[in-house]
Amino acid sequence: MIIAIDGPSGAGKSTLGKMLAKEFGLLYLDTGAMYRAAALAVLRARVPFEDSEKVAEIAANSKIDLTGEPSSMKVLLDGEDISSEIRTPEVATAASVVSAIPAVRRIMVEHQRTIGNSAPNGCVLEGRDIGSVVFPDADIKFFLTATPEARARRRFAEDSAKGLAASYDYTLREINDRDARDVSRPDSPLTIADGATVIDTSGLDLNEVFQTMLENVRTAR
């Protein structure tokens, strides 16, 4: 079983994706973490993002692995644990820029299909193009969304807890900039895939969203 979860940053995809994976014994794949890992490799190599050929070469030569249970998932770059390092606003912005390069997307999509198809019980994948490009024939597709303000509030609280946040206004601006880039890029923009169930999580608590998703999965199975 393949479950696709797409939507903008801060809509709750990761938390709910992990909960669904645990509930049904599926592998969980955070595809944004893969773009973040590639972006970190580019930042470390000090290659300018405009040099898309070099950026794609770095992405192709980086070994990106996601290991462990959903709740304690580790992201490895060439064997090094970079799980915390990729969660900074700087890497988030870099990932959004790097992910607009078609050659980078081709590498990541291939990797994601291989991982999804080889999961013994199936896989929950979350990202921006899962239901539209990576697995257009997914058994179940969700599109989670929320107002930019609701998403910025959640992201600001998360970043503050990690000692990272600058201010709510900065977080909101960063979310709006990232949305604009993710929606407007020509290759695989963030979009609602055909057949996706859209859930606006702005006014809902986590459990309400989870119950709605569970019902959808149980009906589709």
Among 20, 178, 193, 217, binds ligand DC (CB under 6 A): 178
Please, is 145 exposed, middle or buried when counting C-beta atoms within 10 Å of its C-beta (0-12, 13-18, 19+)? buried
Total residues contacting ligand DC by CB under 6 A comes to: 15
Q: Enumerate residues 81-100 that contact ligand DC by CB under 6 A.
A: 92, 95-96, 99
Quote the least distance from Cβ 176 to ligand DC, whole Å. Answer: 12
Least distance CB 32 / ligand DC (angstroms): 2
The one among 12, 17, 32, 70 contacting ligand DC by CB under 6 A: 32
Look at the block and give the residue holding tokens 């990932």: 95
The phi, psi pair for 110, rounded to 5°, reads -60, -45
CB 35, min distance to ligand DC, A: 4
Cβ 115 to ligand DC shortest distance, Å: 13
182 binding ligand DC? (CB under 6 A): yes
127 lies in the binding site for ligand DC (CB under 6 A): yes
Nearer to ligand DC, 178 or 217 (CB): 178
Position 36 contacts ligand DC (CB under 6 A): yes
Q: Please return the burial class of 169, using the count of CB atoms within 10 Å of its CB with bins 0-12, 13-18 and 19+.
A: exposed
Taking the complex as a whole, how short is the minimal distance between the CB of residue 58 and ligand DC, in angstroms?
16
Which residues are at the interface with ligand DC (CB under 6 A)?
Answer: 9, 31-33, 35-36, 92, 95-96, 99, 127-129, 178, 182
